[in-house]
Amino acid sequence: MMRDRFLRACRREPVDCTPIWLMRQAGRYMPEYRKLRERYSMLEIIRAPELALEITMQPLRSFDLDAAIIFSDILPPLESMGVEVQFVKGDGPTILHPVRSGEDVERLRVPAAEEIAPYTQEAIRLASRELADRLPLIGFSGAPFTLAGYLVEGGSSRDFALTKKLMYQEPAAWHSLMDKLSQLVGSYLQAQAGAGAAALQLFDSWVGILGPADYRDYVLPYTRRAIGMAQGSGVPVIHFTTGTNGMLELIREAGGDVVGVDWRIDLGVARSRLGEGVAIQGNLDPMALLAPLPYLRQQAAELLRQADGHPGHIFNLGHGVLPATPMANVAELVDFVHTQSSRG
Amino acid sequence: MMRDRFLRACRREPVDCTPIWLMRQAGRYMPEYRKLRERYSMLEIIRAPELALEITMQPLRSFDLDAAIIFSDILPPLESMGVEVQFVKGDGPTILHPVRSGEDVERLRVPAAEEIAPYTQEAIRLASRELADRLPLIGFSGAPFTLAGYLVEGGSSRDFALTKKLMYQEPAAWHSLMDKLSQLVGSYLQAQAGAGAAALQLFDSWVGILGPADYRDYVLPYTRRAIGMAQGSGVPVIHFTTGTNGMLELIREAGGDVVGVDWRIDLGVARSRLGEGVAIQGNLDPMALLAPLPYLRQQAAELLRQADGHPGHIFNLGHGVLPATPMANVAELVDFVHTQSSRG
């Protein structure tokens, strides 16, 4: 029987207890993950559907989670635009030839849905088949702005100076870039739903570098378009951002059935600013999983109190699980959230 | 005659036009600053009141600013607690022996006011004398949390893991550390007012790493105490933070005559969340100073529109001036703000 409390919460329907899953729930904090990573690089795993499936399943064997999320990364889909992505050890992913001009943008192709990270689409088919009668599977994509940031900077950045430079100095090139990326993201999310994903998450992890006026003028229409395309496939969409607590209303305006918030806001405050028409996902500080258990429990209880029994709440961290996290603490958190919020 | 529109705005009194100064208005973007830095290290300049005075005055010769801010850094005051601070080239300032345990905290002394960065106090005396009949001088200090972050991490950090670890695992040591730091900061701000500073700014640049519950429990009482001590000297206090747009109400609760906000919030939204009893400083994206002039002017005009002619608005950036900023753009911004907001 399908455990559907996660999907019910996405739709703001009553649930037996608050569902919980964790961003980066499959990752370096698990010995079985590290073991596989000794033999295969990140990209090798992502490109081999059977390996991606294995890692997707790992956290489900140890924790009573309410959703799986396909193991992949936000950058590989860019390869279908004609971009070369490299995962340099220790340095994080980089773009071999960053996009810095109108000509660079022009060279980017808009691929057909089936060309976009086909190995991840296949991994979703495998995982959703394996999970079908038990748990929903989440597919995901980077949001247009975060992907644009990677493409322009060539990798991570502190201030996104080059991205903002393109935006301010070559607005036509910027809008063309975002237009192409919103098509890519929309098609890719649709394809994942078609392959069996029961929900989709859009990661706009870097958009918090922008002020509200820039977000509204240079980003919002493209995020809205990608989310609209994804919602066309009939599955709920989670819109996750960080650093946007000064403009949550605009994030809401850009769309999503669920808004994912970082840990730097009270959930009750977030609810009142977002309104009743949307579910909320979040938002424990990932660092709380490294704290002593009494503190961890107290923080989790406080979040449940802030969510106030509202059915449209999915418990999660405000960002991904940290590598130093003890597995026992994750197990404790998952069980605590279920028990503490039980409405049975 | 004293140009007092900055101080009037701090007190929310009517002004002839919106006052403007810029965080890090003396800095690497100015050739005369870089020239002096070729001969002297950061610490050498800070410790030599005549040199600190010279750098404090540099931006006033080029721009029609409404306030000066004493040239110093937030770390030197920590030396009076018995801490060794190093400025390593390219690496930013570091703490030689980080504070990681209750014993480390116990060893920190609480100095008398006159022992805290006496060279900066002397530089304030020199600068306020030189400026007395023209412009107000701002003194400043790091806030207890940001100083604690430096002390514990030993330098900058991405996630402040060690700081949060101390907070969660040794709360008694944490509270003792914050108690000592709030005394240090309060005394130091008082001493700067005594030396001639006409206003004081508290920089809590890193506190945006905390969620609201942690801020309330582990930080707010200490910030409030430091601000209260500073206000006892009779000069207005600006409370500046970044990344706290999810909990601005708590920042307000911690105190200050002026709240300084980062660029990631609409000023009108900030005003309605902070209420009428406080002035607001901010909040142009520092990156806008690197954009073409039409964009820069448009953004500045938009901020003035958001501030809506409210007398309690001090124009500033949402963070410090970036090294790549063209001086001509700074001049243009300062003049544009004055002209555009003129109520004469």
pLDDT in tens, A140-198: 999 999 999 999 999 888 899 999 999 999 999 999 999 999 999 999 999 999 999 99
Query: Average pLDDT of chain B?
Result: 96
CA dist B284 and B318 (Å) reads 5
Q: How far apart are CA A302 and CA A296, in angstroms?
A: 10
**B291/A169 Cβ within 8 A:** yes
Closest CA to B150 of B239, B250, B77: B77
Statement: residue B90 has pLDDT above 80? no
| β A92-95/A85-88 pair status | antiparallel
Mean pLDDT of B291-314: 94
CA dihedral for B266, B6, B73, B28, sign (positive or negative): positive
- What is the pLDDT, as a whole number, of residue A91? 65
For residue A209, which residues of chain B lie inside 8 Å, CB to CB?
264
Contacts A247 to B, Cβ<8 Å: 245, 264-266, 269
Q: Give contacts of B266 with chain A, Cβ < 8 Å.
A: 212-213, 246-247
Maximum C-alpha span of chain B = 60
Query: In angstroms, what CA-CA distances link B308 with A77, A149, A316, B23, B296?
Result: 44, 33, 39, 22, 18
Identify from A160, A164, A168 which residue to disrupt to test chain B contact, counting B C-beta atoms within 10 A and taking the largest count. Answer: A168
Residue type at position A258: V
- At B238-250, the pLDDT tens digits run 999 999 999 999 9
Banded model confidence at residue B80, pLDDT cuts 50, 70, 90:
very high
Instruction: Work out the percent of chain B whose per-residue pLDDT is above 90.
Output: 92
Q: Which of A8, A12, A24, A47 is catalytic?
A: A24
Cβ burial A3-34 (10 Å sphere, 16+ → b, else e): bbbbbbbbebeebebbbbbbbbbbbebbebbe
Residues 267-296 of A with CB under 8 A from B: 269-270, 283, 285, 287-288, 290-292, 295
- CB A264 to CB B285 under 8 A? no
Q: B211 or A133: which carries more pLDDT confidence?
A: B211
Q: What is the pLDDT of residue A309?
A: 81
Average pLDDT of the segment spanning B91-119: 94
Q: Do B269 and A288 touch (CB under 8 A)?
A: no
Pick the residue of A157, A245, A262, A280 with the most B CBs within 10 A to test the interface with B by mutation: A245
Cβ contacts below 8 Å, chain A against chain B, sum to 110
Closest CB from A246, A290, A292 relative to B265: A246
Return the exposure string of A45-82: e unless at least 16 CB atoms fall within 10 Å of the residue's CB, then b: bbbebebbbbbbbbbbeebebbbbbbbbbbbbbbebbe
pLDDT at B344: 61
Closest alpha carbon within chain A to B211: A264
Q: Specify whether A109 is catalytic.
A: no
CA distance A15 to chain B (A): 27
pLDDT at A80 over 90: yes
Respond yes or no: is residue B24 known to be catalytic.
Answer: yes
Spell out the alpha helix ranges (H) of A132-237: 144-153, 161-169, 171-195, 212-218, 220-231
SS3 A177: helix
Least CA distance to A168: which residue of chain B?
B291
The answer to whether A37 touches A48, Cβ cutoff 8 Å, is no
Predicted local distance difference test score (pLDDT) of residue A90:
66
Domain that holds residue B243: 5-340
N residues, chain B: 344
Number of domains in chain B: 1
* CA gap A113, A285 in Å, rounded: 35
Handedness of CA B210, B214, B218, B223 (dihedral sign): positive
Whether B232 contacts chain A with CB within 8 A: no
Query: Catalytic pick from A16, A73, A104, A214?
Result: A73
Q: Provide the token pair at B171.
A: 């709360």
pLDDT for B237 equals 98
Query: Of A211, A270, A288, which has the smallest distance from its Cβ to B264's Cβ?
Result: A211
Q: A164 vs A170, B157, B283, B298, B299, CA distance in Å?
A: 10, 24, 17, 15, 14
Q: Which residue of A has its CA nearest to B163?
A: A287
The C-alpha atoms of residue B302 and residue A119 are separated, in whole angstroms, by: 46
| pLDDT tens for each residue of A87-132 | 777 667 889 999 999 999 999 999 999 999 999 999 999 999 999 8
Q: Is B245 on the interface with A (CB under 8 A)?
A: yes
Report pLDDT for A156.
Answer: 87
Say what the pLDDT of residue B93 is. Answer: 81
C-alpha atoms less than 13 angstroms from C-alpha of A126 in its C-beta half-sphere:
18
What CATH number is associated with residue B119?
3.20.20.210
B170 touching chain A per CB within 8 A: no
